[in-house]
Amino acid sequence: MTDVVQTPCPRCASINRVPRARLSDNARCGRCQAALFDGEVINADSALFERHVGRGDLPVLVDFWAPWCGPCRSMAPAFEAAARTLAPDLRLLKVNTESEQALAGRYAIRSIPTLILFEHGKESARISGALDHTRLTHWVREHTALNRR
């Protein structure tokens, strides 16, 4: 584990280097001065998805969803609460499968909501179906190094 983490800014997507020990210290983007870890879910298009999954050092949990999906809408508050609970150790992104069909196809999204956990740019775990906050955070901790902290 390195002492410095590369993380894209949730607002401008520029890559920032933050000492791991200072992730919880209200780190700000060097370019736009936005908070790097505000506990908010990031609505990602394919470019922002690639930036966070491919260039960031933090694990990324992606919710593949659609606006017409009832279970997706019912899970949204739990996903937002998980973002507040798990930040700054994990990024949470939402990808709308209606507007990002190529990305959904690339990851073979067959049912929604589907959650995929990425570490070091690679898929490390996947689960389909709506989860409440407790089950969601437990599943993330079970499949990442967060359970060892």
Amino acid found at 35: A
Give domain status of residue 19, yes or no: no
At 47-84, the pLDDT tens digits run 999 999 999 999 999 999 999 999 999 999 999 999 99
Catalytic, 9? Answer: no
**pTM, to two decimals:** 0.94
Catalytic, 29? Answer: no
**Number of C-beta neighbours around residue 98 at 10 A:** 13
**Number of C-beta neighbours around residue 59 at 10 A:** 22
Give domain status of residue 99, yes or no: yes
At 116-145, the pLDDT tens digits run 999 999 999 999 999 999 999 999 999 997
Give domain status of residue 24, yes or no: no
Give domain status of residue 32, yes or no: no
Give domain status of residue 62, yes or no: yes
Q: What total of structural domains would you count in the chain?
A: 1
CATH number at residue 46: 3.40.30.10
Q: Render 102-130 in DSSP notation, one character per residue.
A: HHHHHTT--SSSEEEEEETTEEEEEEES-
Give domain status of residue 96, yes or no: yes
Strands annotated E in 20-59: 42-43
Say what the alpha-carbon torsion angle 106, 75, 29, 52 is, to the nearest 10 degrees. Answer: -10
Give domain status of residue 23, yes or no: no
Q: Please check the confidence at residue 148 and state whether its pLDDT lies above 70.
A: no
Q: Domain of residue 134: give its range.
A: 38-148
Give domain status of residue 93, yes or no: yes
| Helix spans in 28-132 (H) | 46-50, 70-86, 101-106
In whole angstroms, give the CA distance from residue 48 to residue 58: 14
